[in-house]
Amino acid sequence: MTHDDIAAQAAADFRSQFGRAADGVWSAPGRVNLIGEHTDYNEGFVLPFAIDRRTWAAVGLRDDNTARVTSTFSDDEVEIGLSTVGPEQLEGWSAYPLGIAWALGQNGVELAEQHGFDAHIASDVPVGAGLSSSAAIECAVAIALDERWQLGIDRPTLARVGQLAENEAVGAPTGIMDQSASLLGRRDSAVFLDCRSLRSEIVDLGFAAAGLAIVIIDTKVSHSHATGGYAARRASCEAGAAALGVESLRDVGVADLDRAREIMDDETFRRVRHVVTENARVLATVRTLRESGPLAIGEILDASHVSMRDDFEISVAELDLAVVAAREAGAIGARMTGGGFGGAAIALTPLALIDEVTARVGEAFAQAGYTAPEIFTVTPSDGAKREL
Ligand code: GLA
């Protein structure tokens, strides 16, 4: 189905489920992070882009205090009373859309009578691939409610609302990157975001003009940021910052690493070194894209993967194999993307070599006895918008 067809179908499904027309259909994309991993919650730099995989929310206001949500990925209809709902009552997929309503309430929106709504969600962002299917739901619902409730909230603030929903309603202690990419993304471009000031700039990627594409290798190794490793990495970063006497690792530069090595244990030091060097790599990527174009960023992507593999230790064998096989088949740079512990790798690949990369990675996985990966390309696309 084309994206226009999915939007129209979402409106039709809303009508058949709720017995009336939706007020409109809004959509928001998933994202790929080009570089800048685990830097967002350290108030550092990230460079994600919105992708051509989206989530659609058909939304209609009600004249009572009830919110009902349905979706194409579950048979459940979930219904809540808006003024009484707390994050602890939300669970499963409905925590994403309903968590946004709750988080808007935390942001000062009066969720009294007449703020009820019905919403139907459809999506073609793969779930569990590390492409932020969750942020896509949150951002589609956030811009829909912002418009229909006539809130006029700016997009950086809406990103914060999405992050609050993710942190409290879903329970994943994630940063601000995914929602920012989904809300601020622009066709053919990446979002260069300073996660301290929340100032952002659009950076031209020029992949197509340079004859390049981003190949996604979804390893099918599932991950969850609501448990385990993600929170542990975050805690190590906080411990490293505390040992150095700074508010966050944003305040630590490459020149401070010698001192850092002396005052903390080796593991914490390596976590710190990843974040500090990754911030420098984001800045180097932006500079290189502007001065020389995307053909020149391959080595920086490779170095980022090595740092995540060896220092931050968030890669898995499948991701490492995907990166090596893609590079051997001619990708100019490759790295795992997103939070890690599974999910996807990206390979910046000459258009003429996409088939070769796809074949070689598939063969390498088969030889290693791993589950077959899903391999496809994505295009840097526009952020959240109204569709119908
Ligand atoms: C996940 C989180 C983001 C970010 C990345 C790692 O995608 O949702 O906030 O921390 O991991 O860069």
pLDDT digits (tens, 9 = 90+) for 191-212: 999 999 999 999 999 999 999 9
Contacts of residue 197, defined as CB under 8 A and 6 or more positions apart, other chains included, come to: none
Tell me how far the alpha carbon of residue 38 lies from the centroid of ligand 1, in angstroms. Answer: 6
Atom of ligand 1 nearest to the CA of 135: 8
What is d(CA 82, CA 151) in angstroms, rounded to the nearest whole number?
A: 17
Active site (annotated) includes residue 178: yes
Tell me how far the alpha carbon of residue 338 lies from the centroid of ligand 1, in angstroms. Answer: 5
Report the topology of domain 3-204+382-386.
Ribosomal Protein S5; domain 2 (3.30.230)
- The confidence band for 245, taking pLDDT boundaries of 50, 70 and 90, is very high
pLDDT at residue 4, as a whole number: 97
Of the given ranges (9-13, 24-28, 106-110, 192-196), which has the lowest mean pLDDT?
106-110
pLDDT digits (tens, 9 = 90+) for 64-122: 999 999 999 899 999 999 988 889 999 999 999 999 999 999 999 988 777 899 999 99
Atom of ligand 1 nearest to the CA of 40: 10
Domain 212-378 -> CATH class: alpha beta
pLDDT at residue 226, as a whole number: 62
Q: Is 81 helix (H, G, I), strand (E, B) or coil?
A: strand
Q: Is 29 helix (H, G, I), strand (E, B) or coil?
A: strand
pLDDT at residue 227, as a whole number: 66
Tell me how far the alpha carbon of residue 150 lies from the centroid of ligand 1, in angstroms. Answer: 30
With the most atoms of ligand 1 within 8 angstroms of its CB, the residue from 31, 133, 225, 227 to mutate is 225
pLDDT digits (tens, 9 = 90+) for 130-155: 899 999 999 999 999 999 999 999 99
What is d(CA 187, CA 362) in angstroms, rounded to the nearest whole number?
A: 29
With the most atoms of ligand 1 within 8 angstroms of its CB, the residue from 32, 178, 198, 337 to mutate is 178
Average pLDDT over residues 236-257: 98
pLDDT digits (tens, 9 = 90+) for 305-332: 999 999 999 999 999 999 999 999 999 9
Residue ranges of domains in the chain:
3-204+382-386, 212-378
Average pLDDT over residues 157-175: 95
Q: Do the first three CATH levels of 3-204+382-386 and 212-378 match, i.e. the same topology?
A: no
pLDDT at residue 158, as a whole number: 98
Contacts of residue 203, defined as CB under 8 A and 6 or more positions apart, other chains included, come to: 47, 189, 190, 191, 192, 286, 289, 290
| Mean pLDDT value across the chain | 96
What percent of the chain has pLDDT above 70?
99
Q: Which helix (H) or strand (E) holds 5?
A: helix 3-18
Q: 38 in ligand 1 pocket by Cβ < 6 Å?
A: yes
Q: 41 in ligand 1 pocket by Cβ < 6 Å?
A: yes
Backbone CA torsion sign across 288, 291, 294, 298: negative
Among protein residues, the one with the nearest Cα to ligand 1's atom 11 is: 339
Q: 175 in ligand 1 pocket by Cβ < 6 Å?
A: yes
Tell me how far the alpha carbon of residue 5 lies from the centroid of ligand 1, in angstroms. Answer: 31
Atom of ligand 1 nearest to the CA of 33: 12
Among protein residues, the one with the nearest Cα to ligand 1's atom 9 is: 175
Atom of ligand 1 nearest to the CA of 38: 12
